[in-house]
Amino acid sequence: MRRSPLKQGKPLQRKTPLLGGGGFKTPAAGAGLLRVAATQAKARARTPKLPKPMKSRGMKGRPPTAEEARFMDAIAKLDCVACRKDGWENLDVSVHHIDGRTKPGAHFKVLPLCAGHHQAGTGPNPTLIAVHPDKARFEARYGSQMELLDECGRLIKTIETAAVAAGAASEQNTVE
């Protein structure tokens, strides 16, 4: 279909006159709207009401229990486990779930990773090997995620033991 170009400044004109020549006849006020409403009412009457679909939590997963939240807080206080292996200290970490977020105990399987080691192309150094999307390369460089989790668990126990010992020493000093 060939279209004619529009020229600025000229009003639009019909090339062919309207059929019937009597002009536009207006229907009775609201007649069209009544027909539409009646059609919609019939359609609603025909379709049975379906149960509401379950809302998916999507990527959010299930919320952590109180114990899982305490563990994740302890993990988040550590520095990035991959940066530590490279000889750096990076306390700006996010919690990476090793095995999803919905399985039982999923919130106990987490690692402290900086932005660059968690998601490719993020963080101040975009050349870091990230677990997302290159898990195989990440594990080849730093070890399996479960080994890193064990290392973090040992580090948390060491910190807790040191804190208990420091608390006991401070109590002895106040008693004397």
Class of domain 66-175: alpha beta
Q: Is the pLDDT of residue 88 over 80?
A: yes
- CA angle 96/100/105 to nearest 5° reads 95
Q: Is the pLDDT of residue 1 over 80?
A: no
Residue 6: pLDDT band with limits 50, 70, 90: low
pLDDT at 77: 93
Average pLDDT over residues 71-77: 94
Domains in the chain: boundaries: 66-175
Average pLDDT over residues 123-133: 88
pLDDT at 93: 94
Q: Helix, strand or coil for residue 146?
A: helix
Q: Is the pLDDT of residue 36 over 90?
A: no
The residue ranking higher by pLDDT, 112 or 34, is 112
How far apart, in whole angstroms, are the C-alpha atoms of residue 75 and residue 72?
5
Helical packing angle, 145-175 and 66-76, nearest 10°:
90
Q: Is the pLDDT of residue 23 over 80?
A: no
Average pLDDT over residues 83-103: 91
CA nearest 91: which of 69, 76, 105?
A: 76
Q: Is the pLDDT of residue 84 over 90?
A: yes
Q: Is the pLDDT of residue 70 over 80?
A: yes
Least confident of 38-42, 125-129, 136-140: 38-42
